Structure 1
Amino acid sequence: MQAPGGAILEGFIDLLVEDGDGLRVVDYKTDQVALKEVDERFAGYRLQGAAYALLAAGVTGRPVTRVDFVFTDSGEVRSLAGAELAVQVAEIRTRLERAPGEEPSGGGDDQLRLPGLNGS
């Protein structure tokens, strides 16, 4: 998807579900994460979730109302929704509008690439 600032946004969304007035992104995290570390790991995935929301909304033309991260090892689920999701989407838009070649910082995993921004 052509993102703000002319960057190409590319990602691999595990599951996209119709959810009331919009869509819900579900991302399965299969790495081993101790229960006490789930919240810390989730914090590192927030920008990834925002990028997925931006990508899904851009491709489908429908709003993404929630992003769920399912930690399969522990069964825990953490979600981005509402104002928190909007703040994270605004942050990823700002990062995408930066000059090409600047690498966005912040969590996520290697399943999210921002070609033109991080050398991909």
Structure 2
Amino acid sequence: MAEKPENLPSGAAEVARSYPEVWEAYAKLGQACAEAGPLDGRTLRLVKLALAVGASSEGAVHSHARRAVAEGVSREELRQVALLAIPTLGFPQGVKALTWIEDITDPHG
């Protein structure tokens, strides 16, 4: 089921409110992709976080980190995703991802 607009970041919430059919289709696509293979929920969340890191999407990193924490993924596991980005994406991208993850896992600094 698609997230309710009030639970979404502002940009996504505006799309969900203004174009509910588009949002619902997008959510169904995400669900179908998640169910298309054998990965479990924890692995899916970590992969989606890694994809967000690779896309350099701060909002998506925040979203997937937030969801991962809610699903019981540890701070250390999330940090490892950022560290794994360093050899492939470069040191600056890995450090940037680490700070985005820490925005969620350690919001008070």
Q: Give your verdict on TM over 0.5.
A: no
Larger Rg: 2
Q: What's the TM-score, normalizing by structure 1?
A: 0.30
More strand by share: 1
Higher relative contact order (CA 8 A, sep 6+): 1
